[in-house]
Amino acid sequence: YGEGWDFGEVYKNARGTNATQFNVSGTGIGSFNDRIRDAILGGSPFGHPLQQGFITGLALEPNGHDHGSASAVDHMLAVMKDHIQVGMAANLKDFVLTNHEGQEVKGCEIRMHDRTPVAFASSPSETVNYVSAHDNETLFDAVSLKAPARLTVEERCRMNHLATSIIALSQ
């Protein structure tokens, strides 16, 4: 298993076929699932650090960051739900779910903001779900940064537990 990221000088197989999330599909080689991590916590490594997600208070406990209108926030949360649902099913391309619009779709039909499919795996062994650490930040670091400053340590711990529970209950 490994980091199947597609960026930088190797973006879109610029230096030959790379072991990216989509290229290793069907090989049995696992790749870290950044999609579930980003939906659970909010944002991405390239986004604003205060962007909230499913467990960090988006829509319910705003942190003061401008996430857009109330309808935009509701839509973001609904899309994150779809990403988490696919992630909990091992990010399988052929997993069928009912999306936030009430349509039955496959995991590969759920899209990221850049129109890349969320699901990349052909079997559960090809997905490594995680949320607990990223680029020198612990899960509690990310929760503390994204959650509103007024929340207590106990409330932040509950967010932390919810994040790890989603991963624990995932395939």
| Structural domain spans, the chain | 8-168
Please state the separation of Cα 114 from the chain's center in Å. 14
Model pLDDT, residue 7? 86
Alpha helices by DSSP H, the chain: 34-41, 70-88, 139-146, 153-168
**By the 8 A CB rule, do 162 and 132 touch?**
no
Query: Given this model, what pLDDT does residue 136 score?
Result: 76
Which range, of 14-18, 50-54, 69-73, 79-83, averages the lowest pLDDT? 14-18
For residue range 36-50, what is the model confidence (pLDDT) as tens digits? 999 999 998 888 999
What was the pLDDT predicted at 58?
97
pLDDT at 96 over 90: yes
- The pLDDT tens digits for 111-152 are 999 999 999 999 999 999 999 876 778 999 999 999 999 999
Tell me the pLDDT tens digit for each residue of 2-53. Answer: 899 988 898 999 999 999 999 999 999 999 999 999 999 999 888 899 999 9
Check residue 88 and give its pLDDT: 98
pLDDT at 33: 96
Pick from 110, 66, 104: which is nearest to 86 by CA?
110
Q: Is 90 exceeded by the pLDDT of residue 82?
A: yes
Rounded distance, CA 45 to CA 52, Å?
Answer: 13
